Structure 1
């Protein structure tokens, strides 16, 4: 099967020209994108659970803070994941080094902040 078959010759899939990378790398990039989207969905599920499903004996402000923090983190991931996918796809097409992503650090810090808020909610009188 020829590279780019089924697409017009000038259609690069939105990745800005260059040569078609090995399909395995393209699919790996797509799997990474989907993993970030699953992470965002899990964070949204956590926010719904904290805000509406689980009866927690927390102060109202802590519950709202945790729910909003989870939602905000999910929104950041949802916006940044496709941008990261596109940057990686462009780099592969042009034979450039893969760009460094801030997304793992942002997610780690966000989850750490939420964990601190959960501990605060459970143990603060």
Structure 2
């Protein structure tokens, strides 16, 4: 233990965890680049090339230029997944139970809309699905 002082251990741990955080940010940026619907193919290719060629600068510029929308795009993706999950659950429940359950399904949809877990558009689409059955 005399060969490796405490501050060196601390510094090594700091560098290791900073590297892990860097990898997480890098993968989130790549995921956002390819999930983004408002970027065209050339835009995605350009951002990807910048992040690969100049990783630190590319990620920093990406976060400054498009970082504010990353959370919005992630929330929108989570809403779509939640709506799909709910719709599948509702369809499975409808297949097992009699059609008199429409009122409960509509009440649940209204509750989801009031808690801002689904948008107005998602609410209308799910409501049409419930009423169509």
- Normalised to the residue count of structure 2, the TM-score between the two structures is 0.37
Q: Which has the higher contact order (CA 8 A, sep 6+)?
A: 1
More helix by share: 2
| Structure of larger gyration radius | 2
